[in-house]
């Protein structure tokens, strides 16, 4: 059986068939072949299907691949408008196949020499493009949540005033982080993981544009200080997950400098816009941050999960984890850059930078700039269409490719939140489009993330017409 499992000829045969299958699938998506973008299913029924499949005596690998594609969320289809998940460039998927087979871990240099060097080159490339100077450094890690935690652990070590890693959290000096009320939940989770508790997250209200209201920073900071909290960091959104709104990073950077705070930018989704000419202004101030997180798997055409954690002062990237692991790491001071286990949550780590490097080398910066600009333009185009259509409402003017909206039928007197949630449910059942929902100021809206660069204006108009039709058909039974 071992010889069979490692047979090069079988790998070649099955691999060729799989590439053909995936290429046909991409063609179907590009040509907008009719399909359920998210095939309706029940979780328990899905488990039963695969449990029964496990019991079947025969197994056809290609049939398994085909079934898996059929039952999955079709992110490459232009009607996919759901979560912030990029349709990966096909080359990146091929490169990931290579990564999976050679399977070089990256805890220490000797486990993955080429991948380690490539990661450093990729990080330098990205740092330059967001405006970080030559002293910048960082690490790639598995997702924005891990990235935010990694950056904030460094902030805590640098700004708390003592060696908190070795000494632990001091009850008499509770630490806190100031964040937008619209910050991603991973920031609050990171604070709790670090032992800061509920009081460790100080939320700053947002303005009518859903941006952090910078006029309240001083007041909230002073109030926190009077309550005995030691604020060590300020976190900005580039952009928020719910509405795609960019915080005023320049003003936040000024405030952080004034009070000696660590300034962290959660740019998981929108930080890459700093690379573009048209939308760079949204990220103005990101180059002044102490740390930045950017997901390659959101707006940079890379399969999940690949997240860059960048530090403007590269030396701080060694502050995150100070524990000793004598069998892997040497010395008690700064660890060598090429042994990544000292700077990430992971010990064994995937070759995260290789597929990004391949995209950069084959297509250059223009691929990313064109993708980001195209999808952000789609968001603005959708908003323009919505403003012209009677009955449609925007939650907020979009900055980029995340748009929140709803439809209110003429003479509808019922609960608009209930109606909007019901429309979303019907959209799932219809399955021609994949759209999610969110809450903005306590109100329910439909939310689209326009991640597919091949989504057209006609696609958007068709989606809006379907929303209107469903809302009008449901309005009678829900009218007050």
Show the CA angle centred on residue 171, arms to residues 166 and 172, nearest 5°: 110
Contact residues for 272 (Cβ-Cβ < 8 A; gap 6+): 294, 298, 299, 300, 368, 372
- Which pLDDT score, from 0 to 100, does residue 345 have? 80
Whether 72 maps to a domain, the answer reads no
Whether 206 maps to a domain, the answer reads yes
Residue 183 sits in which domain range? 104-363
Question: Do 227 and 317 lie in a common domain?
Answer: yes
pTM above 0.85, yes or no: yes
Show the CA angle centred on residue 85, arms to residues 84 and 89, nearest 5°: 140
CA distance linking residue 120 with residue 141, whole number of Å? 13
Question: Do 372 and 270 lie in a common domain?
Answer: no
CATH number of residue 288's parent domain:
3.40.640.10
Continuous segment of H or E residues that includes residue 192: helix 185-193
Whether 280 maps to a domain, the answer reads yes
Number of structural domains found in the chain: 2
CB 213 within 8 A of CB 204: yes
Sheet of strand 436-440, all strands in order from the earlier edge strand to the far edge: 392-394, 402-407, 443-449, 436-440
CA distance linking residue 115 with residue 124, whole number of Å? 14
Question: Do 216 and 318 lie in a common domain?
Answer: yes
Question: Do 359 and 371 lie in a common domain?
Answer: no
Question: Do 152 and 172 lie in a common domain?
Answer: yes
Question: Do 371 and 350 lie in a common domain?
Answer: no
Question: Do 159 and 293 lie in a common domain?
Answer: yes
Whether 376 maps to a domain, the answer reads yes
Question: Of 308, 337, 363, which residue sits at a domain end?
Answer: 363
CA distance linking residue 384 with residue 397, whole number of Å? 10
Question: Do 358 and 372 lie in a common domain?
Answer: no
Question: Do 144 and 249 lie in a common domain?
Answer: yes
Question: Do 183 and 310 lie in a common domain?
Answer: yes
CB 230 within 8 A of CB 175: yes
Whether 156 maps to a domain, the answer reads yes
Whether 11 maps to a domain, the answer reads no
Whether 97 maps to a domain, the answer reads no
Local structure of residue 65 (DSSP, 8 states): H
Question: Do 373 and 291 lie in a common domain?
Answer: no
Question: Do 267 and 407 lie in a common domain?
Answer: no
Question: Of 335, 363, 391, which residue sits at a domain end?
Answer: 363
CA distance linking residue 263 with residue 217, whole number of Å? 13
DSSP character string of 443-478: EEEEEEE---TT--HHHHHHHHHHHHHHHHHHHHHH
pLDDT digits (tens, 9 = 90+) for 65-76: 999 999 999 999
CATH number of residue 458's parent domain:
3.90.1150.10
Question: Terminus-to-terminus CA distance in the chain, angstroms?
Answer: 67
- How do the pLDDT tens digits run along the chain, 480 residues long? 899 899 999 999 999 999 999 999 999 999 999 999 999 999 999 999 999 999 999 999 999 999 999 999 999 999 999 999 999 999 999 999 999 999 998 888 888 899 999 999 999 999 999 999 889 999 999 998 999 999 999 999 889 888 887 888 888 889 999 999 999 999 999 999 999 999 999 999 999 999 999 999 999 999 999 999 999 999 999 999 999 999 999 999 999 999 999 999 999 999 999 999 999 999 999 999 999 999 999 999 999 989 999 999 998 888 777 544 443 444 444 567 777 777 788 878 889 999 999 999 999 999 999 999 999 999 999 999 999 999 999 999 999 999 999 999 998 999 999 999 999 999 999 999 999 999 999 999 999 999 999 999 999 999 999 999 999 999 988 776
Question: Of 343, 363, 383, which residue sits at a domain end?
Answer: 363
For residues 164-187, b (16+ Cβ closer than 10 Å) or e, as one string?
A: beeeeeeeeebbbbbbbebbbebb
Positive or negative, the Cα torsion across 457, 458, 459, 461? positive
pLDDT digits (tens, 9 = 90+) for 414-438: 999 999 999 999 999 999 999 999 9
- Which pLDDT score, from 0 to 100, does residue 322 have? 59
């Amino acid at each position: 059986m071992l010889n069979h499992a490692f047979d090069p000829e079988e790998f070649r045969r099955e691999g060729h068939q799989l590439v053909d299958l995936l290429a046909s699938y991409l063609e179907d998506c590009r040509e907008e072949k009719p399909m359920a973008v998210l095939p309706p299913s029940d979780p328990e029924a899905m488990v039963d299907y695969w449990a029964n499949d496990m019991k079947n005596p025969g197994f056809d690998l290609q049939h398994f691949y085909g079934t898996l594609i059929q039952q999955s969320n079709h992110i490459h289809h232009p009607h996919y408008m759901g979560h912030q998940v990029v349709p990966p460039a096909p080359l990146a998927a091929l490169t990931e196949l290579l990564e999976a087979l050679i399977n070089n871990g990256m805890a220490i240099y000797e486990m993955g020499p080429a991948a380690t060097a490539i990661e450093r080159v990729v990080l330098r490339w990205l740092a330059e493009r967001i405006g970080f100077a030559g002293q910048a450094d960082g690490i790639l890690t598995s997702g924005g949540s891990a990235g935010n935690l990694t950056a904030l652990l460094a902030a805590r070590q640098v700004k708390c005033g003592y060696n908190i890693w070795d000494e632990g959290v001091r009850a008499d000096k509770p630490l806190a982080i100031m964040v937008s009320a619209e910050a991603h939940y991973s920031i609050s989770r990171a604070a709790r993981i670090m032992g800061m508790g509920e009081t460790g997250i100080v939320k700053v209200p947002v303005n009518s544009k859903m941006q952090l209201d910078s006029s309240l920073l001083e007041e909230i900071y002073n109030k926190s200080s009077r309550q005995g909290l030691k604020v060590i960091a300020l976190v900005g959104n580039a952009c928020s997950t719910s509405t795609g709104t960019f915080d005023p990073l320049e003003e936040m950077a000024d405030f952080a400098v004034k009070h000696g705070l660590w300034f962290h930018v959660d740019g998981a989704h929108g930080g890459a816009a700093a690379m573009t000419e048209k939308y760079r202004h949204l990220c103005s101030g990101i180059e002044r941050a102490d740390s930045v997180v950017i997901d390659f798997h959101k707006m940079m055409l890379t399969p999940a999960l690949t997240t860059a954690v960048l530090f403007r002062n590269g030396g701080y990237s060694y502050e995150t984890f100070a524990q000793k692991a004598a069998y892997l790491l040497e010395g008690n001071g700064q660890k060598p850059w090429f042994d990544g286990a000292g700077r990430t949550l992971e010990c064994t780590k995937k070759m995260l930078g290789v597929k990004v490097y391949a995209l950069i080398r084959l297509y250059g910066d223009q691929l990313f700039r064109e993708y980001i600009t195209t999808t952000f333009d789609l968001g603005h185009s959708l908003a323009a269409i919505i403003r012209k259509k009677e009955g449609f409402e925007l939650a907020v003017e979009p900055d980029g490719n995340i748009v929140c909206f709803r439809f209110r039928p003429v003479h509808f007197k019922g609960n608009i939140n209930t109606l909007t949630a019901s429309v979303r449910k019907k959209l799932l059942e219809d399955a021609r489009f994949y759209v999610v929902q969110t809450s903005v100021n306590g109100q329910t809206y439909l939310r689209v993330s326009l991640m597919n660069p091949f989504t057209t204006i006609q696609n958007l108009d068709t989606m809006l017409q379907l929303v209107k039709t469903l809302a009008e058909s449901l309005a009678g039974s829900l009218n007050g």
